[in-house]
Chains A and B, each alone.
Chain A
Amino acid sequence: DAGITQSPRHKVTETGTPVTLRCHQTENHRYMYWYRQDPGHGLRLIHYSYGVKDTDKGEVSDGYSVSRSKTEDFLLTLESATSSQTSVYFCAIRPRDSSYNEQFFGPGTRLTVL
């Protein structure tokens, strides 16, 4: 257990509304990641963070923004949700003592955009 929690765990929202997902970790890890998981696509990186206020885009960043004002929290925001953003979202961390880039994942948030 890497001490990662995600909230909410499930959310249903309507097209055009803003949505924020939260990832919280308790072990002071520097690197945090947001992925989305869709059938047949594995996990795809949305954004990642390498420190407080240090973030960068992943391969599917369009329509998403992130913020990290504290080490322990990494927020993913959908400014105006669309049906194509219906997905399961996973947060991950890379342990501080890792030399090999393994990541550990939170339990996921299932988001449905109607």
Chain B
Amino acid sequence: AQSVTQLDSHVSVSEGTPVLLRCNYSSSYSPSLFWYVQHPNKGLQLLLKYTSAATLVKGINGFEAEFKKSETSFHLTKPSAHMSDAAEYFCVVSDAGTNAGKSTFGDGTTLTVKP
């Protein structure tokens, strides 16, 4: 079984300050983990993915995430927030052994960036 918990439903930061969006997961197999971003009234865009090649994963737009197996976490970070980062972010887990590549989404974290 797989599950994912996004620990904050809303995060607010000032422009230029660091961003931290927290995600914990549960997986019966070696998991693949993803972060997606959704801007208002838009579809979902893949930010980055963890595939066991490296524990620190770099994504688009300056975002990174670190896989910590001992903590079952996959937190998303960015050193300096931009106004354009304001969006909803989803953490997603997919077990390697999952039939047909089914994925489980977290409930989402809304990031607000203040000027």
Contact = CB atoms under 8 A, between A and B. Distances in A.
B51 A100 contact: yes
Interface in B83-105: 90, 94, 96, 98-103, 105
B105 A43 contact: yes
Contact of A42 (B32, B42, B107): B107
A50 B45 CA distance: 22
Contacts of A31: 100-101
A103 B100 contact: no
- How many A residues touch the partner, as a band? 20 to 34
Contacts, number: 56
B43 A94 contact: no
A105 B34 contact: no
A53 B55 CA distance: 38
A52 interface: no
Contact of A105 (B32, B44, B96): B44
A42 B49 contact: no
Given A33-B102, A101-B94, 4 more contacts: A40-B107, A98-B101, A101-B96, A105-B43
Complex A-B, nearest 8 residue pairs according to Cβ-Cβ distance, in ascending order? A42-B105, A101-B94, A101-B101, A100-B32, A105-B44, A43-B105, A100-B51, A42-B107
15 contacts: A31-B100, A35-B105, A42-B90, A45-B102, A48-B102, A56-B99, A58-B102, A98-B101, A100-B94, A101-B96, A101-B98, A101-B102, A101-B103, A102-B46, A102-B94
Interface of A: 31, 33, 35, 40-45, 48, 50, 56, 58, 90, 94, 98-108
